[in-house]
Structures are given as structure tokens and as C-alpha cells.
Structure 1
Amino acid sequence: MPQILPLVAPGSPGAELVVGQDGGAAVRRTVLPGGVRVLTEHMPGLRSATVGAWVGVGSRDEMSGHFGSTHFLEHLLFKGTARRSAMDIAEAFDAVGGEANAATGKEHTCYYARVLDTDVPIAVDVIADMVTSARLDPDELETERGVILEELAMNDDDPSDVAHEQFATAVFGDTPLGRPIGGTPHAIRSVPRDAVWEHYREHYRPDTLVVTAAGGVDHDALCAQVADALAAGGWDLAAGAVPAPRRAVGERGAVSVGVELTVRRPTEQANVIVGGTCLNATDGRRFVLSVLSAALGGGMSSRLFQEIREKRGLAYSTYSYASGHAETGLFGLYAGCAPAKVDEVTELMVAELERMASEAMGAAELERSIGQLCGGLVLGMEDSGSRMSRLGKAELVHGELLDVDESLARIRAVTAREVQELAAELAAAPRSVVRVGPFGD
């Protein structure tokens, strides 16, 4: 039978939870002193493991004067601690053939490493040292300021990145969700070291930390390693402390008014995105949204691909996508095409969405879309990194962990009528359009 791990409310005492998963895997969750949450998924037969340290803070949580701090910290935590230099951190992972990286989002940040199962203690010790004891050395900060500015410049040279960043800003407007995750060049140049330090001290605490690991990992051993490493970093792991509450979830966020924006770039091809707000990350209809997006622009048999690329030859790349946040979400239809064809392609994308809203999907298309999602879900769970990430998002966002069978069951339960109703809701919502390319006035 499908199983669900109903994660206890973060503010409640840390009773340990255990549930079996597919393929003999087992998920365990423990709350350590200080309110630190540890979740593991043991995958029998795997000789590697991925360990991640999650902090429930993202770019949307930056106060005025701190803009860009979250992305800055993603870089600076690798630049040295009280015990290790930047070279020491790099050498620690290189010496065992490990891979270490970090990712910043709008609502969370994750530092992670993939190593051999025998080297999990090393990964835990180094990552915990980074999280608890970053020095944020002023000289290193100034050096990294230049690195981040180069990263932003690289992204600004990619018209597809520009289109997606500007689309989020167009839809969410002058709100925290509308700000770029990486910060703007102005914010990165302006934010002082003290502001980054304040952001770090405010948000990097035991009760906000979630440690997840998947692969060849022993839960009890990992809990002991995490507790020892955090204590060595000087964190107060007080008995009886509880985890910080999850981010408040509203029914819907501020309604977008619909914006049209043109960004001029001297490119051969234009990039266009059309869409608006959609479901939040915990909405029960997120499985319906996945089926809708798969049918509309999720593969070579999707409506956008067939109509725009195969039948008309107007684009090489076209797809749909969706992302969810605490109180709202983002839904977009993308295409890269000749600048002179932008209006035609935009009209075709909108027409396909409106057709889904007015006509129910046929049984074959529904079955094909569901099959695509089910296959992609199972294939995506074949590596420890995906499973580590799933644990972190379950704890920070959803409050429950579905095993693979339950996730497949929810996808297969989606009906054509549900897809049509959601398509109608999306088609009727205010629509934003962002174009990036060599357009004149």
C-alpha cells in the first residue's frame, strides 16, 4: 500500500518518524536538541550518499539594505571558517572524490555534497563547519563580490535567463517574490559586509536547519555526526528547543495585473514567455497542474511542440513550466523564435492554453501525459541527490513525504475534467508577456 510520512508540525516535540519506501528504502526523521531536523533515506546497495544542509531562507526574506545577502552567503560559506580556509574546504571534498555545491532559491538555501558512503562523516563535518562558523572575511567578501557580479553578467548575456528573470518580475511585481534570486548588480555592489553578517546571524540557527541525506547512510550515525559537528561549531543545542515553524501558507498571493515588457538585446533570436500566477506549492491540485503542463508543453508530443515546431517550424525550443511558492505560483509558456514571428508564436501559445480550457482532453492524450509524468518521476528518483532534495522540500514546504507509489497514484487519479477546469482558471487570469530580442521602439 502507498505510504505517506506525515511530518509533524515543526513546533511540536521531535518524536521520531519512520516509514518504508520503495525498493526497500526507509525514511527516518528525528529532531535533535536545538530543534535541528534530520531526515534520511537509506537506499540499500548504494555505495554513495548525498548530504544536504537546508536553511529556510531565500531571496524573498531579505530586508531592505540586505538585498543580495542570501546569494552572497551561498558563495561566502565556501570561503573559510574559523577552522578551515577556502582551500581546506575545497581539498576536503577533492581528496575523497566528492562533489560539493550550493543552491539559492526564493524560499530556501541548500549546501550539499555527494560522497562515498564511507566519507559521509567528512561531508557532514565540513558542511556543518561552513553553516555554523563562516568567517565572512572582508577581503574574501570583496573578492567574491566581483565573482558574483561576473555571474550576474554571464546570466545577463543569456537572453533565455533574462526572459525568465524578467517574467517573474513582471508577474510578481514589486514584491519579494519579484526580486531576482541572485540579486541585482546594484544590490551586490551596494550591500555592506555588516548587512550580510546580520542576515547570516539572523537566519542560520539550529531551529531553522534541516539536514537531509539519501543513499548509503545510517540514520543514527548521521544524527550523532550532525550533533557533534554543530556543537563543535559553537551552536547552542538546547534541550527542549523546537524547530522554527514552516513558512506561512496563504490561499493565494497578490493577483497579478498583467504586464507587457520588452527587453532589447542584439540577438539573432527572440525569447518570449506568456503566463501569470498559478497554484501555490502545497495546493492539492498541483498534480493536475503537472498533467496540464505535460500535455501543453512537456515533451515532443505536447501541443506547443507539435503546433509551433513540428507543424509550422516557428521555433526550435518551446515548452511550458510551473513553480510554486508559499502563497502563489508561476505558470509560463516559453518559445524561442525569429523576432518577426514573436506575435504569431505568442498567439499560438495562448490559443493552445485556451483550447485546453474550452475542450476536454481526449483519453489518449490524458493517458500519454500521465505516463510521461510517471516515468519521469521514477527515473528522477534513481539517484541519491534527487532523494535528498525531496526530503528537504518535504520538510520545509509540504509537511508530508509521499512515497513513490503514492505520488504515482495521485498523478494517475487526475481526470480530464480537472485539467480543463484548471486550464480555464489559468486562461482567465491576468496575463503577462515578456519579450527579449532585437526589437526597435
Structure 2
Amino acid sequence: MQRPPTRSRTAAENDKTEVRRTVLPGGLRVVTERVPHVRSASVGVWVGVGSRDEGRSVAGAAHFLEHLLFKSTPTRSAVDIARAVDAVGGELNAFTAKEHTCYYAHVLDTDLELGLDLVADVVLRGRCAIEDVEVERDVVLEEIAMRDDDPEDTLGDEFLSAMFGEHPVGRPVIGSIDSVSTMSRGQLQSFHQRRYTPERMVVAVAGNVDHDEVVALTRAHFGPRLAAGRDPVAPRGGRGRIPGKPGLRMIHRDSEQSHLLLGVRTPGRHWEHRWALAVLNTALGGGLSSRLFQQIRESRGLAYSVYSTVDSFADGGALSVYAGCLPERFAEVAALTTEVLAEVADNGITAEECRIAQGSLRGALVLGLEDSASRMNRIGRNELNYGEPRALSESLAQIEAVTLEQVNAVAAKLLSRPYGAAVLGPHRGRRSLPKPLRDIG
């Protein structure tokens, strides 16, 4: 017997979520989202410090430090930390990006206090012991080796270097073998003490939690750090045009595939037309019906993987297309990719493509918030980047408000800009590349 259509339990209960914000003395911000229908709590301490805040001599310091702080605190060893989280079936981890670092725990709602205690202990009191530095240095060097073995990861770093050159966002988050090998314990400890201050931090918690309880726990665990007189650090705004112009980076590998990342510079994340850019990106290469996927994979079978993406920073970004294919098909893939971009620059996307892209964005945004960890990521990132947690309904309304004319104006403005690109595969020198790539830079 067919059941009548009903509104899902998750969708109905999502309407009952509540986002609250408190600023504590010292500028520390606490944002929570109460999701009463889950049994979990996700705790994140976001620090507005990433790889772009490093000097060249300490490239990779933010990432190295993220590893190091888990090794020991005054009251816990690395084993103690691991056992504490394993004993409650939780997860404790961290990640570093260009402009921020996040330390997080995912636990049962009844273990909220433990989760916040562990994250705060690591972030505030990680020891940076000299013996730990040497052990973790080898781990980070292994991670660099893993990156070098992964074509897409290597290509991604090389692409941003091609797009932004010597600008800090063009440097790899992970650093280099040289910088990681020579970084001292004193440099890492100084980076920690100078950069990890409350006014740069956001405590974001989502799940079956109470805001007032989270604030009280945060006060208890951050304690003496909450000195009065400091205001939160304002979100990074635009800093003007990034100097120079995009270029071409080539990595020779005797690989079975050729890999391409090709793109153009975009304004930063505060751009007024960022949602129109998101719709354009989705229509170009964000799904199975996207123009690039249909023309390169479905119609011609030239590549298995082809997609587009947007990287957004405070003062700039990039719209890029990735494709991986057999070397003998590389010239055709590169030519077709640039043809599609030129066609969209000249004539825009269709009303149907715009409608589908908006629906895809809305659905992906809502479906991506089905768990407390995703919600914690969203409110923490928004507070750090925009100075407010932002309601889901506001983001959905902004997607809905995008017009076809706005998307096509963005396409005409951005896709006519000079390309930057990174190529990885069995290619030697510019002469071995198809003309659209030879002409870059």
C-alpha cells in the first residue's frame, strides 16, 4: 500500500533549531546551535590563524602546530588524550586551512563537558615539548610525501601557486620539506603564544546542547585567558587586488593520466555577487547535469572525472575546472574546457541551467546539515569569516534571489579574465601542451 507523502521528521524538526551567540571578556565568541532531535554534541574551537599568517621561513607552522598540540598538555599525555575520547566512542581531530585552524570533538550530548575540556586543553595548554617536535616533524614530512603521491592534492597546491604567485594564499598549507625540516621548537611555541589569543577564537557547539551551559563551561575552561579589554578580531575583509597575474605550473610525472586545473581569479568571499558565482560554478561543473560534465564525460567520454569549484579567501579567490584523462586525450580535453568557458562568457547559461543549479545548491546546503558536526562547522566558519553565525533560511533566501541576469553578468566579467593553470602528467615543457595552455602567462 502506498503511503501518503508526509513532511520528513528531520525537515520539520530542523525548524526548531536555535542559534545563539555570546561574546565573553577578552573577545572570545561562543556560538551554539541547539538541535534537539539528535543525541550528539560537536565542539569546535576555531582560531583565525592559518598558513597565510606565516612568514616564509616558517611556512607550514600553523599546520605543524596543529599536529603538535595533541602530543601533550600539562595534565595529559597523547595516550591519555586518545584514551579519554575512545572511552566515550567520540572523535577528536583538527584541520588547518589558509585562514583558520579548527580543533574539534564529536561526542554524545551527555559527554559535552569532556569534549569541551579536551579541545580547550589541547588548544590552550598544548606543551610544544622539544621531544614531541622531533617526533611530529617526521609525521608532517610523511604527510608531505603522501601529498606528493596524490596527483589531485599536488595539483591543487600547484594551481593556487600559479594563480596567486608569491601572495600568502598561494603557498601550500602543509609547508615544504625545507621549512618543516628546519623549523624550531621556539618558533612553533612563539607562533602558538602570539597567535592563539581569545579575540581570534570562536567556540562553536552544535547538537542537543544548551547555550547557557556551553557558555558556563567555556568560562570554566578558558578561565584566566578571558581578560577584559579586548574585542573580537574583525573578519578579514578585502585587501585590494592581488598583485601580478595568473601563470602556468607544470609537474612532470610518468603517470597513466594527465591532470589539469584551469581557472580564473575571482573576488573574495565578501563580494556582493558571491551567490551568483556559486550558481555559475554549479551550472558549469557542480553536478551530473552540469555543462562541463555533460560535454566532456557524457557526450564524448573523454574523462572520468571533471568538475569545477570555487576557492574563496578574504581578498580574492579562484573559479577552477579539474579534469583527469589519458595523455592522448589531454589536448582535446583542454581545448573543450576552454571552449565551454568561452561560450558561457559570451552567451551565459540558460534559464533551465540556472534553475537546476539553484535547486542543487539549496538541496546540498540543507542535506549537508543533517548532523551536528556539519552544523558546528557552518556556524563556526560563518562567525569567523563574517562576524555572525547566519541563519540557514537567510542563505537559502540568498540563493533563491539570484537572477539569471546576475549569473550571466558574473560569467561575462570573470570568464573573460586571463587563465591560470597547473598541469601534472607526462608533459615536458610548454611546447608539449595544447595552445590554450601554452598561451598562459
Q: TM-score scaled by structure 1?
A: 0.92
Q: Provide the residue aligned with 2:202 in structure 1.
A: 210
Q: Provide the residue aligned with 1:81 in structure 2.
A: 73
Q: Distance in 1 between matches of 2:363 and 2:305?
A: 22
Q: Provide the residue aligned with 1:253 in structure 2.
A: 241
Of all paired residues, the percent bearing the same amino acid is 46
- Tell me whether 1:274 sits opposite 2:262 in the alignment: yes
- Tell me whether 1:283 sits opposite 2:271 in the alignment: yes
Contact 2:284–2:308 under 8 Å retained in 1: yes
- Tell me whether 1:296 sits opposite 2:284 in the alignment: yes
Correspondent of 1:405 among 393, 399, 402: 393
Residue 256 of structure 1 deviates from its aligned partner by 4.6
Q: Provide the residue aligned with 2:6 in structure 1.
A: none
Q: Distance in 2 between matches of 1:415 and 1:238?
A: 47
SS in 2 for 1:238: coil
Distance change (3 Å), C-alpha of 1:288 and 1:390: same
Contact 1:255–1:277 under 8 Å retained in 2: no
Residue 247 of structure 1 deviates from its aligned partner by 2.2
Q: Provide the residue aligned with 1:92 in structure 2.
A: 84
Q: Distance in 1 between matches of 2:413 and 2:146?
A: 36
Which whole-Å deviations, capped at 9, do the CAs of 1:280-325 have from their partners, x for residues lacking one?
Answer: 1111211101110111001111111110011111100000000111
Correspondent of 1:367 among 317, 341, 355: 355
Counting only pairs closer than 5 Å after superposition, residues 224-373 of structure 1 correspond to structure 2 as: 224-231=216-223, 235-250=224-239, 252-373=240-361
Q: Could you list the runs of 5+ residues in structure 2 that have no partner in the other structure? A: 1-12, 430-441
Q: Provide the residue aligned with 1:63 in structure 2.
A: 55
Contact 1:68–1:191 under 8 Å retained in 2: no
Residue type of the partner of 2:80? D
Q: Distance in 2 between matches of 1:260 and 1:229?
A: 48
Q: Provide the residue aligned with 1:148 in structure 2.
A: 140
Q: Provide the residue aligned with 2:417 in structure 1.
A: 429
- Tell me whether 1:39 sits opposite 2:31 in the alignment: yes
Q: Distance in 2 between matches of 1:289 and 1:332?
A: 12
SS in 1 for 2:27: coil
Distance change (3 Å), C-alpha of 1:436 and 1:94: same
Residue type of the partner of 1:312? R
Residue type of the partner of 1:311? S
SS in 2 for 1:262: strand
Residue 395 of structure 1 deviates from its aligned partner by 1.1
Superposed CA RMSD in Å reads 1.4
- Tell me whether 1:104 sits opposite 2:96 in the alignment: yes
Distance change (3 Å), C-alpha of 1:284 and 1:203: same
Which whole-Å deviations, capped at 9, do the CAs of 1:137-157 have from their partners, x for residues lacking one?
Answer: 111110110001001101100
Which whole-Å deviations, capped at 9, do the CAs of 1:368-405 have from their partners, x for residues lacking one?
Answer: 11111111111011111111111112111123333222
Residue type of the partner of 1:413? A
Moved more, 101-110 or 388-397: 388-397
Distance change (3 Å), C-alpha of 1:351 and 1:256: farther
Q: Provide the residue aligned with 1:6 in structure 2.
A: none
Q: Distance in 2 between matches of 1:153 and 1:248?
A: 34
Residue 172 of structure 1 deviates from its aligned partner by 0.5
Correspondent of 2:112 among 107, 120, 130: 120
SS in 1 for 2:38: coil
SS in 1 for 2:225: coil
Q: Provide the residue aligned with 1:29 in structure 2.
A: 21
Residue 88 of structure 1 deviates from its aligned partner by 0.8
Moved more, 397-406 or 408-417: 397-406
Q: Distance in 1 between matches of 2:278 and 2:237?
A: 23
Q: Provide the residue aligned with 2:41 in structure 1.
A: 49
Q: Distance in 2 between matches of 1:256 and 1:333?
A: 21
Q: Distance in 2 between matches of 1:260 and 1:163?
A: 12
Residue type of the partner of 2:374? S
Residue 240 of structure 1 deviates from its aligned partner by 4.1
Q: Distance in 2 between matches of 1:432 and 1:64?
A: 23
Residue 245 of structure 1 deviates from its aligned partner by 2.8
Structure 1 runs (4+) deviating above 6 angstroms are: none
Correspondent of 2:154 among 162, 167, 173: 162
Contact 2:203–2:380 under 8 Å retained in 1: yes
Q: Distance in 2 between matches of 1:244 and 1:343?
A: 47
Residue 81 of structure 1 deviates from its aligned partner by 0.5
Which whole-Å deviations, capped at 9, do the CAs of 1:22-53 have from their partners, x for residues lacking one?
Answer: 52111111011222110000011211011000
Q: Distance in 2 between matches of 1:351 and 1:332?
A: 14
Q: Could you list the runs of 5+ residues in structure 1 that have no partner in the other structure? A: 1-20
Residue 258 of structure 1 deviates from its aligned partner by 2.6
Contact 1:256–1:277 under 8 Å retained in 2: no
Contact 2:81–2:118 under 8 Å retained in 1: yes
Q: TM-score scaled by structure 2?
A: 0.92
Residue 186 of structure 1 deviates from its aligned partner by 1.1
Q: Distance in 1 between matches of 2:381 and 2:73?
A: 27
Q: Provide the residue aligned with 1:14 in structure 2.
A: none
Residue 255 of structure 1 deviates from its aligned partner by 4.7
